[in-house]
Structure 1
Amino acid sequence: MIRRIIVLLTALSVVLSPAAPVEASLASIPTRPLEGFAPLSPPEVTAEAWLLWDDTFDRELASLNPDQARPMASTTKMMTALVALESADLDDEVVVSPSAAAVGESEIDLVPGETWRLEDLLRALLMRSANDAALAIAEHVAGSEAGFVRMMNDLATEIGLENSHFMNPHGLDAEGHFASARDLLNIAISGMENPVFADIVGTRSSTFPDEPNGEERVAVTTNALLSTFEGALGIKTGFTNGAGLTIVSAAERDGRRLYAVVMGSTDHFADASALLRYGFSAFGLFNVVAKGQIVASQRGPSGTTDAIAQDDLDVFASSEDAEEIDLVIEYSEDGEPVVIVEAGEEEIGRIGLDLVEPAPLPGIGDAFAWASAYWDWLWGND
C-alpha cells in the first residue's frame, strides 16, 4: 500500500539529489501494481556463500558471504574460456599433449596426438567441464600451464576481481586457488558479453570429433537448469571435495536477466533455482504514478488546484519496499513542482507535475457585458 505524504506547494525551494530514471530501453518490461503484492523473503538454501544479481537493473538483490574467498571448482573454466577467447583464434588447431590427456577427473577423453579446433575444445570445456580440454587450451595459448595461469591472474586484475587467485585452468583443488561469489559473477557477466561464450554455455548437447578408433563423441551439458528452469541461459557448474557443489547460473524472463552464484552447496541446482525464482517473484518494476494522474489536490478561494503527473513513474523495488513507498510533493531546485518516490528514506524516482488551476469565475464587469450582449441579441439591436 502506498503511503502518501503531501507537502504543500509553497515558494520554498528544496535542493534534492535526483534518482536515476528508468531507461527507455526497459519499456518492454511489464510493470506491476503496488496494491495487493505480498512481500517475499529470501529462500533458505544450503550454500555457504551465494549472490543474487539483477543485471538489467544493475542491483544486488540478496546475498550471503558474497565476498568470501572460497574454492571454486570448475567455475574456474569461465576464466579459462575468457583468456582463450581473448588470446587465440577459434579455428586454431590444438595438438593434445600427453599431460593434457592424463589430467584426470572430468574429461572429454582426449588422446595424445589428437588435433582439435580450439572452438571444439571450448565447447568441451564449458559444456562437459572437461579438465583435459582445459589443460590442452592452456598449453596451446600460453605454451605452458604456468604461463596460462599468469594470464588468468592478469585478466582477473584487469576486470577488477578482488578476492580471486588462480593456480590452474581446470579448478581442481589447489592451495591458493580461490574466488568469491561476487568475482565469479563478474567473470560470468564478462563471458556473457562474448557471443561465442554465451552460445556455448546455453547449449544442452553437442557432438565432438570422433575418437581415433572411430567411436563417436557426444556430450551433454553438466548444467541441468537448461532443461529444468524456464528462461535459463546456462553458465557453469562445478564440484570438488574442497569446494562442494558450485554453480554460476543465469536466466531471463520478461526482459529481466538475473544471475545466481552458489558456492559450497549440497544441492546447487535447487539452491540456484530457488534464488532465481525469488528474484523474479519478489522484485519488479512497479507503477507508482500514471501519466495524467491527479497526484494531489488543494482547495483555494477560487476552487481546486490539481497536481497532475507529466509522465508514468515506474520504480524497481522489492515487494517489501513496495509496501513502504511514500509519494512526496515538493518544489525542485529549479522551482518546478515534482513528485518524489521514497522507499524508507531513499529517493528512488521522481517526475514533474503540472499544476492545473480552476478557471476564474466571471467578475462583475464581465457579467454586465454578457447581459448587455444578450439583451441586444434578444431585441435585434445591431
Structure 2
Amino acid sequence: MKKIRIWQSLILMVVLFWLSVLPLCAEESGEQKTGDMPENLYARSAVLMDADSGRVLFGKEEDVIRPMASTTKIMTCILALEQMEDGQTVTASEYAAGQPKVKLGVQDGEEFYLTDLLYSLMLESHNDTAVVIAEGIAGTSEAFVDMMNQKAKEIGCDHTYFVTPNGLDGEDDGGTHSTTARDLARIMRYCIMESPAKEEFLEITATRFYQFQNVEQSRSFSCNNHNAFLDMMDGALTGKTGFTGEAGYCYVGALRKDDRTFIVALLACGWPDHKGYKWADTRKLMEYGIEHYHYQNVWKELSLPKLSVSGAVSDQNPYTDCVGVSLEFEEKGGSLRILLGEGESIRTEKQITQELEAPVKAGKKVGSVSYYLEEREIGVFSVVTSETVEKRDLKWCLSWLVKKLCL
C-alpha cells in the first residue's frame, strides 16, 4: 500500500509540474494568448472604436439596444453648439425648472447665457439645464428631440432613438429612449472628429472647473467635471458619464495617443454600488487599443497589365490592330495608412477594362484598385492610361504616308 501511495504522489507531482509549464510554453511559442483580448468586462455592451475610420476594433453586444442615461447629453451639447448664436441667452421655463435631480436649480423665468449652460450640462450633467438648452434652441423640448433623432440618422445611428434631451428614461409613440454601444461611440466620433463645433465641444468637456452667473448676475453657480477618466490616462480627451435605474452606469469617452484616437462606449456597466466598474472597463479597453493597434502603410506597388486598343495606330506600326497602353495610379508613390491589429492584413481587388476603342487620351480612367480589410473597403485608387493613342483613319494614313515619302 505504501508503494502505491508513493507512485500516486509521484504521478500527481509530475502532472502538477506539467500544468505549470504549459503556460510558459505557450508564451515562448509566440502565439497570441486569449488573454490578449479584453475579457471579463463589467459592461453588458461595450465598444472600442478607431475614431479616425469609425471601425469597431472590439465589441461586446455592441448592437444590443439599451438605455444610455446622461451620455445622451453629448448629442444635446453638439447640436446646441452647432445651432446657437453668439451671445445667445435662454430663459428657463416652469417645465425645465421642474426636472428631477441632478439639477442646477434654475427658476421659472430665469435667464442665462447659453454658453454657460453647456458647462452645467457636460460637467455636472444637470437635467434642468438640458431642457433649458433644448427649449432655447428649438422652442420646445420635443422639437429639439426631433433634431436629435434627425442628426442621429444623418451620422448613421440607425438603432438610436431619443425621447428626452437629458437622458432620463422615457418612452413615446416612436419608441424607448435608447441606443447601442456602437451608435454611442459613433455619436462621440461625430462630436470630436466631424462636427464643425468639435473644438468647442472638446474645450467644454475637458474643463475641470467652471463658474458663471445668470444674466441678471443675481445668482452664481459653479461646476466640477465628474469625468474622472480625464485624470486616469495620458491623452484623455473627453467623456460623459450617465446613470438611471434602467440604464445602469454608462460612459463614453475618447483618448488620443501619438497619432491614434480611440473611443470607448459602455452601456449597463453595473448598478449601485459599482460606480468604479466603468473606469476599470474604460482603462482596459483603451490599454488594449494602445498596445495592439498601430498605423501601417499598406500601399502596394502592383503590376498592372497593358490593354488592347482596337483600331489604334503608332508611328512604329501603322498596320497593327492593337497597341499596348500602360497604366498607372493617379497617385504615384501613394500612401494608405491604416490602423491594424496583430494578425490583420490587407487584400486588393482589381477592376480594369479589358478592351478600349481608339482614340484614347492619356489620363482616361479605365479601372480601379480597391483595398479591403476583411470585407470593409478602406481605400480605392483609380487606374488611368499613361499615354495617348490615335485612331487609324484615312486622314492619319495619308499623313503617315507623306511623312515617309519626305524622308
TM over 0.5: yes
Of the three residues 139, 145, 150, the one matched with 2:141 is 145
In the alignment, what sits opposite 2:76?
80
In the alignment, what sits opposite 1:191?
191
Q: Structure 1 94/159 Cα, relative in aligned 2: closer, same or farther at 3 Å?
A: same
Residue 57 of structure 2: SS of its match in structure 1?
A: strand
Deviation at residue 219 of structure 1 after TM alignment:
1.1
RMSD over equivalenced CA pairs, Å: 3.7
Residue 265 of structure 1: SS of its match in structure 2?
A: coil
Q: Structure 1 248/327 Cα, relative in aligned 2: closer, same or farther at 3 Å?
A: closer
Q: Structure 1 135/58 Cα, relative in aligned 2: closer, same or farther at 3 Å?
A: closer
Q: Deviations over 1:8-38 (max 9, x none)?
A: xxxxxxxxxxxxxxxxxxxxxxxxxxx9796
Q: Structure 1 141/165 Cα, relative in aligned 2: closer, same or farther at 3 Å?
A: same
Paired with 1:99 and 1:212, the residues of 2 have a C-alpha distance of 21
Paired with 1:187 and 1:69, the residues of 2 have a C-alpha distance of 15
Paired with 2:78 and 2:343, the residues of 1 have a C-alpha distance of 38
Moved more, 271-280 or 104-113: 104-113
- Alignment of 1:255 with 2:278, yes or no, is no
Moved more, 165-174 or 80-89: 80-89
Q: What TM-score comes out, normalization by structure 1 length? A: 0.66
Paired with 2:297 and 2:151, the residues of 1 have a C-alpha distance of 41
Deviation at residue 320 of structure 1 after TM alignment:
4.4
**% identity of equivalent residues:** 34
Task: Figure out how many residues of one structure are paired with residues of the other and give that number.
Answer: 289
In structure 2, runs of 5+ residues without a counterpart are 1-28, 271-276, 302-332, 354-370, 380-407
Deviation at residue 87 of structure 1 after TM alignment:
2.6
8 A Cα contact 1:237 1:246, kept in partner:
yes
Deviation at residue 224 of structure 1 after TM alignment:
0.7
Residue 58 of structure 2: SS of its match in structure 1?
A: strand
- Alignment of 1:242 with 2:280, yes or no, is no
For 2:164, give the aligned amino acid.
N
Of the three residues 281, 289, 293, the one matched with 1:279 is 289
Moved more, 164-173 or 84-93: 84-93
In the alignment, what sits opposite 2:120?
124
Correspondence 1:61-140 to 2 at 5 A: 61-140=57-136
Correspondence 1:1-382 to 2 at 5 A: 40-175=36-171, 176-192=176-192, 193=195, 194=197, 195-209=199-213, 216-266=220-270, 267-285=277-295, 316-321=339-344
Q: Which has the higher helix share?
A: 2
8 A Cα contact 1:90 1:117, kept in partner:
no
8 A Cα contact 1:251 1:259, kept in partner:
yes
Residue 51 of structure 1: SS of its match in structure 2?
A: strand
Deviation at residue 208 of structure 1 after TM alignment:
2.0
Deviation at residue 113 of structure 1 after TM alignment:
2.7
Q: What TM-score comes out, normalization by structure 2 length? A: 0.62
For 1:132, give the aligned amino acid.
D
Q: Deviations over 1:118-141 (max 9, x none)?
A: 111111111211111101011122
Moved more, 120-129 or 241-250: 120-129
For 1:208, give the aligned amino acid.
F
Paired with 2:373 and 2:85, the residues of 1 have a C-alpha distance of 50
Deviation at residue 317 of structure 1 after TM alignment:
2.4
Paired with 1:42 and 1:243, the residues of 2 have a C-alpha distance of 22
8 A Cα contact 2:56 2:182, kept in partner:
no
Deviation at residue 228 of structure 1 after TM alignment:
1.3
8 A Cα contact 1:45 1:271, kept in partner:
yes
Deviation at residue 158 of structure 1 after TM alignment:
2.4
Q: Deviations over 1:177-215 (max 9, x none)?
A: 111112212211221232211211122221121698966
8 A Cα contact 1:70 1:179, kept in partner:
yes
Residue 139 of structure 1: SS of its match in structure 2?
A: helix
Paired with 2:85 and 2:374, the residues of 1 have a C-alpha distance of 52
8 A Cα contact 2:112 2:215, kept in partner:
no
Deviation at residue 56 of structure 1 after TM alignment:
2.9
| Higher relative contact order, structure no. (Cα contacts within 8 Å, ≥ 6 residues apart) | 1
8 A Cα contact 1:43 1:278, kept in partner:
no
Deviation at residue 109 of structure 1 after TM alignment:
2.3
Paired with 2:238 and 2:225, the residues of 1 have a C-alpha distance of 9
Deviation at residue 312 of structure 1 after TM alignment:
9.6
Residue 142 of structure 2: SS of its match in structure 1?
A: helix
Paired with 1:204 and 1:76, the residues of 2 have a C-alpha distance of 20
For 2:169, give the aligned amino acid.
D
Residue 239 of structure 2: SS of its match in structure 1?
A: strand
